Amino acid sequence: MVLRLPQLPSLLIPSLIIQLTLFIGIIVIIRFLIAWFVSTLASRGAISSSARAVIIKILDILVIISVATVTVHLITASLTPYIVTAIIGILVLVLFYHEIKEFTAFITVHLQHYARGSWVEIKIPNMNASIKGKLVDIQPFNSIIEDIHGNRVYIANSLLVNSLIKEYRPNVLLKIQLSLNSGASNAGNLSDFISNKLREIVSNSPFRLDEDYLHVLSLNREVLVFTVRLIPFSTPVRTSDLLKVMTYIRDTLSEYSPNIEVSEA
């Protein structure tokens, strides 16, 4: 059995060539404009270079499919190529719905101008606790958040798009309890206590004391409980550095029998 292609009238061939040439030219121009726009966004930092590469690859695939479909249609004068393309498109949408949803969210996250390296606090719907950390990378299907201690959390882009995101300054909160039985008079002026004692303690550590932050949780004749905020000079914070600071505070304030613990930042 020999497969024979339909014979086209000789007068129609130039017309088909012209139509096909015009269509390809328009598609190429549109592809160039979109690629230029995406490259401009990447150069301005609105999207990452990886996002640019993925978008352009998808754009090239769509261009090839469009040119192939229209070419077959012009030659065969049939709607079959469009039907086949539509069926394939529906199957791809059904089979890869999750991936398409995450990639769409990936583009949305980039357009929201969350630059890699930014410190953010993410409040995910239906979750009591928020996620705080540095936005390390935005990948096609998920984003990577690294907390102040270097632990990484992977969040689906579709979940990130629907979350409340705000800027966050990395810090460590220390909850300190002091016994005032033997030194209440020395701790009478809380402002001097913070500025003189704690500033001196933290000065030789890889942290800076946030002097504008002080929360007194409890104060009576016997016990003083308060929290202080330490801002690291670099991240991630090493546990050994934090333990050294806590040990130094404990030794320096040993007359007050300090009880120190890391609170929720």
The alpha carbon of residue 46 and the mean position of all alpha carbons in its chain are separated, in whole angstroms, by 13
CA dist list (Å): 15 to 9, 18, 19, 78, 79: 11, 5, 6, 17, 19
Residue 224: give its domain's CATH number: 3.30.70.260
Please report whether residue 44 resides in a domain: yes
Q: What is the pLDDT of residues 118-127, one digit of tens each?
A: 888 888 888 8
Please identify every stretch of the chain with a pLDDT value under 70, giving residue numbers as ranges: 1-14, 16, 45-48, 77-78, 113-115, 181-195, 264-265
Q: What is the pLDDT of residue 10?
A: 52
Q: Are residues 184 and 246 in the same domain?
A: yes
Query: What tokens appear for 115 in the block?
Result: 């630059």
- Count how many domains the chain has: 3
Q: Is the pTM of this model over 0.85?
A: no
**Any domain includes 3:** no
At 157, which CATH number? Answer: 2.30.30.600
Same domain, 211 and 152: no
Confirm whether 101 is domain-assigned.
no
Predicted confidence at residue 3, as pLDDT, reads 46
Asked if residue 154 and residue 134 are part of one domain, the reply reads yes
Q: Nearest 5 degrees, angle CA 56-CA 36-CA 49? A: 55
Write down the pLDDT at residue 206: 86
CA–CA gap between residue 165 and residue 121 (Å, rounded): 6
Residue 93's SS3 state is helix
Phi, then psi, of 222 in degrees rounded to 5: -110, -35
Domain of residue 127, residue span: 114-167
Which of 68, 95, 122 delimits the end of a domain? 95
Residue 236 confidence (pLDDT): 84
List the structure tokens of 8: 């086209």
In a domain, 1, yes or no: no
Task: Judge if 221 and 247 occupy the same domain.
Answer: yes
Tokens 């096609």 belong to: 140
Same structural domain for residues 144 and 207? no
pLDDT of residue 6: 52
Q: Is residue 221 part of a domain?
A: yes
**Inside any domain, residue 186:** yes
> For 7-66, how does the pLDDT look when each residue is reduced to its tens digit (9 = 90+)?
545 545 667 677 778 888 888 888 888 888 888 877 776 666 777 777 888 888 888 888
Q: What is the model's pLDDT at position 208?
A: 85
